[in-house]
Amino acid sequence: MNSIKCNEVVVVDFETTGLSPEYERIIEVGAAIIKDGKMVKSFSQLMNPGFLIPSFITGITGISNLMLKGKPSPEKVMPELKRFIGKRVILAHNASFDSKFLYSEMKRARLKIDNPIICTLLLSRRLMPNVTNYKLGTLANHLNYKIENAHRALDDVKATSIVWNHLYKQVQYFTGIQEPNAQIFTTIGQTPKGSIEKYFTQIRTGRKYQ
């Protein structure tokens, strides 16, 4: 599946009750289909985790227990999210965090998802050297985009999409490939910063195209 092209992807972001998917739950999902650089469809849903969320989570996200009252459980939302994602490549900023919750909640819903996942955090560390840090808000501001409501899932998805479009164009430019596939982005994210130019040279000269 890593040979799949990335001109159409799904950007995903979760807000959660904490850091550990073993004990914590998703309380909001935002997702958007990005096709040829444009958002063509979005999905957003609050979820009730089955227990009261900590006050510090409300402070970070603005999501309150009252807002979650009567909302569906994550298990009931996951089938709809899986249908929305389809077979597309998944993108997330700090994907190691979001992917753990994605796998955990899909498992609770007795579902499985094995789409390639690309991390815009790892990519930006290698392709955007002139920023002060790699927080989503910092990267968005660097690209002249202001997040309307930081730490709300769909707003973070929109910002991640802006960053992704920039990174996609960077990879097109540095590799000379008009439609780079998921494996190229994955490899960039895993390649040490000092070896990125060598990797791009190998692709441009035809010695490596994964």
CA distances from 66 to 48, 62, 122 (A): 10, 11, 36
Q: Residue 178 pLDDT > 70, yes or no?
A: yes
Task: Report, as an integer, the average pLDDT of 47-65.
Answer: 97
Kindly report the number of other CB atoms within 10 A of residue 204's CB atom.
14
Confidence of residue 206 (pLDDT cuts 50, 70, 90): confident
Is a pLDDT exceeding 50 seen at residue 158? Answer: yes
Quickly list DSSP for the chain.
-TTSBSSEEEEEEEEESSS-TTT--EEEEEEEEEETTEEEEEEEEE---SSPPPHHHHHHH---HHHHTTPPPHHHHHHHHHHHHTTSEEEETTHHHHHHHHHHHHHHTT------EEEHHHHHHHH-TTSS---HHHHHHHTT---SSTTSHHHHHHHHHHHHHHHHHHHHHHH--SS-BHHHHHHHHHS-GGGHHHHHHHHHTTS---
CATH T-level topology, domain 8-204: Nucleotidyltransferase; domain 5 (3.30.420)
Which residues, listed in sequence order, are joined to residue 38 by a DSSP beta bridge?
35
Q: β-strand 117-119 against 26-35: which pairing, if any?
A: unpaired
% pLDDT > 90, the chain: 94
Task: Indicate the pLDDT class of residue 208, thresholds 50, 70 and 90.
Answer: low
- Residue 66, pLDDT above cutoff 90: yes
Is the model's pLDDT at 165 over the cut of 60? yes
* Predicted confidence (pLDDT) at residue 2 exceeds the cutoff of 70: no
Domain ranges of the chain: 8-204
Dist CA 93 CA 12 (whole Å): 8
Asked whether residue 1 carries a pLDDT value surpassing 90, the answer given is no
- Average pLDDT over every residue of 17-32: 97
Encode pLDDT of 108-128 as tens digits: 999 999 999 999 999 999 999
- What percent of the chain has pLDDT above 70? 97
Q: Check pLDDT > 80 for residue 24.
A: yes
pLDDT given for residue 210 in this prediction: 46
Give the mean pLDDT of the chain.
Answer: 95
| pLDDT at 3 (0 to 100) | 77
